[in-house]
Structure 1
Amino acid sequence: MSALALLDYASVFVFALTGALVASRAQLDIVGFVFIACITAVGGGTVRDVILDRPVFWVANPNFIIVASVAAFVVFFTAHLLESRYRTILWIDALALAVAVPAGVAAAVAMESVWPIILIMGVATGCFGGLMRDVVCNEVPLVLKQGELYVTCAFAGAGAAVVLLTLGQPLPLALIGCAAVTLALRVGSMAFGWRLPVYKSRPPRV
């Protein structure tokens, strides 16, 4: 199994957990759990593959849908054991982001894409699944929360990979650096309140 396939499997499973946890907060039935888990798990990778004009990974290998469905069933029967499902969603989502961004970077590198495309594919793979999840479940998308470091984390992680590749480092090391930067920034945002400045409206000049 290739490194990209392993990253995709890990990303699918962890993102599916977050989708199922959001479904539990919305009190959906088991079919709803599976649906939300699947769109969360494969959304970012689907956008990535369509843009890169490569076979969509879960269409080429439906086992990814099975993995996401298993995660949904696990959460359906265990979510009630969690003290704070929202807090759990945030932390698992951070881990999923740190796996999905390197998966997007690896896919773009495999297609011999130039560095701006590598950056965009890393961000798209990491962010679009969670965005779909939150929109469908009528939640405020994590990627758009005021001042929240989320897309920034994905962009910085993909950027770290691009820098390491430019310096001649092997792809596995670049992907590890990508994951480390992405996770460190996301955890810092949640644990220490790291934020970007936000726009504040001012009265127009007379």
Structure 2
Amino acid sequence: MDTLTSPVSLALFWLDYAAVAVFAMTGALAAARSRQDIVTFGFFAAITGVGGGTMRDLLIGAPVFWVQRPGYIVACLVAAVAVWIFAKRGWRFRALLWLDAVGLAAYAVVGTAKALSLGVHPFSAIIMGVLTSCFGGIIRDVLAGEPNLLLSREIYITAALLGAGVFAGLKLMGGDFWLAAIVGFFAAFTLRACAIKYNLRLPGFAQGGGETEY
């Protein structure tokens, strides 16, 4: 974050680190599934961990958060090493799903909070929260050759949108930062967790029989 002079800025700073580390672990787990080497583990972890936040910062015209703070990349590499050492066959995919759900929920709040703190319109700030949550996972899945969650009709973007919207709404009503952050996080995580556990999906487009296909 740009400044650590206020309690909210300090909170965002540490939440950002936590979200980056969690998403980095999902990148390393994707590398583990395809039996990559330790260097690729680190690359997957770094690009997954900072990908969404990088896109957010570029779009809102903020300094890219990790460029002047290399500790973010260090956190990604530490996460990669931890997965390399401790990941066990058989639970990697489920671990990836659940860690991704935690990262999704955390980044929905962090991305929205940073955008709001820089004066971005609340509607756009919510979109930035969703983008921060989802973009790193998209890059991870493309690089790993995994089926992308966004294309499988799973409740994914919807969970990020819920968390970002709840956080922004509570903040606009004058709510305490931590209360808004916790409620927003659990709103996103609960919806995503239910989607994982009960295989919830949004209905797909049903094309009418009389329409012409092009």
Range class of TM-score, shorter chain: over 0.9
Shift of 1:163: 1.7
Over residues 156-203 of structure 1, what are the superposed CA-to-partner deviations in whole Å (9 max), with x where a residue is unaligned? 111111221232212222211210110010001011222211113343
Change (3 A) 1:6 1:95: same
Q: Give the 3-state SS of the residue equivalent to 1:161 in structure 2.
A: helix
Alignment correspondent of 1:195? 201
The answer to whether 1:102 aligns with 2:118 is no
Mind listing any 5+ residue stretches in structure 2 that lack a counterpart?
Answer: 5-9
TM-score by length of 2: 0.91
Match of residue 65 from structure 1: 73
TM-score, normalised with respect to structure 1 = 0.94
Residues 113, 168 of structure 2: 8 Å contact kept: no
Cross-structure match for 2:7: none
- Given that 2:194 and 2:200 are in contact with CA atoms closer than 8 Å, whether structure 1 keeps it comes out as yes
Please tell me whether residue 115 in structure 1 is matched to residue 122 in structure 2.
yes
* Structure 1 unaligned regions, length at least 5: none
Offset of 1:205 from its aligned partner?
A: 4.7
SS in 1 for 2:66: helix
Paired residue for 2:183? 177
Structure 2 counterparts to residues 4-15 of structure 1, below 5 A? 4-15=12-23
What's the CA shift string for 1:86-131, capped at 9, x where partnerless?
1111011111111111110110111011111111111011100001
Give the fraction of aligned pairs with identical amino acids, expressed as a percent: 42
Paired amino acid for 1:198: G
**Which of 151, 155, 171 in structure 2 is aligned with 1:144?**
151
Cα distance between partner residues in 2 of 1:73 and 1:205: 53
How many residues align structurally?
204
Three-state SS of the structure 2 residue aligned to 1:57 is: coil
Give 1:137 shift.
Answer: 1.0
Supply the RMSD in Å over aligned alpha carbons: 1.4
